[in-house]
Structure 1
Amino acid sequence: MNVHQPESAPRAPTISTSHPFGGVYASTICPMTPQGVVDETALAAHLKSVVTTAGMAGLLVNGHAGENFALSRDEQSTVMRIAREASGERKIVAGINAESTDLAVQLSEDAAKAGADAVMVFPPYSWALGADDRVIQGHHRAIAKASNLPVFLFQGSVNSGRTAFTQKTLSGLLEIDSVVGIKEGSWETAAYEATRRLTKKLRPDVGVMASGDEHLFTCFAIGSEGSLVSLAAVIPELIVELERAMLADDIAAGRAIHERLYDLARIVYGAPGHLATLRLKTCLVLLGRLETATSRSPIKALSAEETELLRAALATAGVLEV
């Protein structure tokens, strides 16, 4: 006897842009003159070229890629002002990174005045050596109150001490009403999934956004509301294309794009990681979108060997002819 088996309901795509801050946000760089001064003209051109990419949801400015740790308060305000002018109606998330909670509060107030749509709280670097949970909670709550804006958390790498929040710490941070999203930078797939599962259990309204450039494909497959990622400042079309493939649940297309991206992501974010910004800027120079790779790093330029590795990776990605 044949027993009718009901058809399975179609599986929902693993990523969704229905979240208020869903989609791809490029974590942008901050162009500088050869003398190390913020190049406002180049910055405006960079931001506009990235944010106007079809399918781009917005920008993350003054993030790690944007050298927030090395910019003065006035410089960060300038970046935010130029970003607002360049972005039109697209959303801007402003990074807040300061060791002092008082300064972080001032930066968040500046961002709000300059037209940010949300702020992202980067854990101070000193927390990598250890931080009391009361300090972590108090720092975030002070920024949330001062900015009066939606707040993104930043989940640090599994190897970065207390900048990687425990589930207990993250649970407390999710009690802040204005938290709307998490830039999930665990850089480890199991940790990413653990963060996502906890967040969706406690605060299903909070978006968990993929951040590890080397495994965007994997994170999108697990589930994500989008991405806030610096590779989108260099190859925005490819990152948007990857998101669209995964929205359509087209795993084969997503895997093919991942293959094109992998070498570039691995080289840009490989050890030592603190050179990532210089590598991103060098990529933009190679692509003819930036005149100089100058950054606030004491290392003024990559070696010829490192530059050629980036050139080859851009060629593999299909965005640069060799």
Structure 2
Amino acid sequence: MSTLTTSQRFGGIYAATICPLLPDGAIDEPVLEQHLRSVAQADGMTGLLVNGHAGENFMLSRDEKRRVVEIARAVCPKDAVLICGINAEDSLEAQRHVEDAEAAGADAVLIFPPFSWGLSQDAEVALRHHRIATETSALPLFLYQAGVRAGTMAYTLDVLERLARMPNVIGIKEGSWETSAYEAHQRLVQRVAPQVLMMASGDEHLFSCFALGTAGSQVSLACVVPEFITGLYRAMQDGDLPAARAWNHRIYPLAKAVYGTAPGGHASARLKTCLKLLGRIPDDRMRAPMGPLPAQEVEMLRNALKAAGLL
């Protein structure tokens, strides 16, 4: 049995990966293999978050999600930590997906709040969903703190406290997308469950949130510029503010183009287009109803990649 602490094993930078598709909409497995392998092998990368929002987990079938984990486990370095996103409205369906992830080789799961919670949510429902989803699995659990503009998908302080106290919770992908909210949640968790890893994961706000303190990050921008994200993280961990500012200066235009431009729902498509523009994937198609990005958005992304020194 490993003697590594939770922080040593699960802390650090994770790239939330995309899912390349063929013209008929099926997963392009060879391209997916190359994408996962190259990102996981990036210097300073702890592991991958597969089947996250960037990986279109809300569009993939149960079998496809399991297959993504199987491929990741097969092609990534043995010491790469694999976290599998779980996104299901039905708690028992979420449980089946957790079981699939464990059987396919995931090291932990990240449970996203169901999209229906954007309309209504309460503490008992949230707790029950996480308990049912994980009660048949030994995998450790990451929570997802949704953005402040995500309606009631974002947990209140009371709900977050109760979730963080669950015995199988080891970390939180903190995506509040607001620095003040991040600090409030960080202070709360440090008080009520200090063993839980708070991971600043709002791609537009990494510099400021890293400055407040973080155990790592799980961000989709790291699947495009892994060296930028790990560089920023290392600089902040080392207290090298000039280096951190330099990394942030390169991250900023890309983060604003992908995430800070309306409509926000285009973010995953923009990530794929960036990877296509960089020659890393051959096709940037998405599952319907998301179609090709407008020409002006593609040009915006091209300019952002140039500004970041990538083209």
- With structure 1 as the length reference, what TM-score do the two structures score? 0.92
How far off is 1:144 after superposition? 2.4
> Does the residue aligned with 1:209 lie in a helix, a strand or coil?
strand
Question: Matched residues in 1 for 2:189 and 2:288: separation?
Answer: 35
Whether 1:291 aligns to 2:282 is: yes
Mapped pair 1:20 → 2:48: no
Whole-angstrom distance in 2 between the partners of 1:94 and 1:18: 18
Matched, 1:256 2:246: yes
CA distance in 2, matches of 1:281, 1:130: 32
1:33 to 2:33 alignment: no
Residue 238 of structure 1 pairs with residue 198 of structure 2: no
Distance 2:295 2:162 in 1: 47
Paired with 2:290 and 2:84, the residues of 1 have a C-alpha distance of 26
Correspondence 1:316 to 2:303: no
Secondary structure of the corresponding residue to residue 310 of structure 1:
helix
Asked if structure 2 preserves the Cα contact closer than 8 Å seen for 1:19 and 1:207, the reply is no
Q: What code does the residue aligned with 1:129 have?
A: L
Task: Measure the CA separation in 2 of the matches of 1:301 and 1:93.
Answer: 29
Residue identity opposite 2:308 in structure 1: A
Give 1:231's aligned amino acid. L
SS at match of 1:68: coil
Could you tell me how far apart the structure 1 residues matched to 2:295 and 2:100 are? 40
Alignment gaps of 5+ in structure 1? 1-16
Q: What is the count of residue pairs matched by the alignment? A: 304
The one-character-per-residue Cα deviations of 1:244-284 (angstroms, maximum 9, x if unpaired) are 11111111111111111111111111221111111000000
Corresponding residue for 1:84?
73
**What are the superposed Cα offsets for residues 27-53 of structure 1, whole Å, 9 maximum, x if unpaired?**
000000122110111100000000000
- The higher-RCO structure (CA 8 Å, 6+ apart) is 1
Q: CA offset at residue 131 of structure 1?
A: 1.4
Structure 2: how far apart are the matches of 1:121 and 1:18? 19
CA–CA distance in structure 2, aligned partners of residues 46 and 156 of structure 1: 26
Q: Give 3-state SS (helix, strand or coil) of 2:58's partner.
A: helix
Question: Quick one: distance in 2 between partners of 1:153 and 1:104?
Answer: 14
SS in 2 for 1:281: helix
Partner Cα distance (1:285, 1:79) in 2: 20
Structure 2 partner of 1:5: none
Residue 18 of structure 1 deviates from its aligned partner by 4.5
Larger Rg: 1
Please name the residue that 2:266 is paired with: 275
Q: Give the corresponding residue for 1:223.
A: 213
| Corresponding position of 2:50 | 61
Q: When the two structures are superposed, what TM-score results if normalisation uses the length of structure 2?
A: 0.96
Please report how far the alpha carbon of residue 197 of structure 1 lies from its aligned counterpart in structure 2 after TM superposition.
0.4
- 1:103 paired residue among 74, 93, 103: 93
Q: Are the equivalent residues in 2 in contact too, given 1:118–1:149 (CA < 8 A)?
A: yes
Contact 2:83/2:110 (8 A) holds in 1: yes
Gaps of 5+ in 2: 1-5
Q: Secondary structure of 1:168's match?
A: helix
Shift of 1:132: 2.4
Corresponding residue SS for 2:285? coil
Give CA deviations for 1:39-85 in whole Å, capped at 9, x if unaligned: 11110000000000011000000000000000000000000000111
In angstroms, what is the RMSD of aligned CA positions?
Answer: 1.1
Percent identical residues: 54
Matched-pair contact (CA < 8 Å) for 2:7–2:197:
no
Report 1:22-171 matches (<5 A). 22-87=11-76, 88-171=78-161
AA in 2 matched with 1:213: D
Query: Which of 186, 193, 196 is residue 203 of structure 1 equivalent to?
Result: 193
Deviation digits for residues 191-215 of structure 1 (CA, Å, limit 9, x no counterpart): 0001100001111111111111111
Following the alignment from structure 1 to structure 2, what is the Cα–Cα distance between the partners of residues 247 and 202? 24
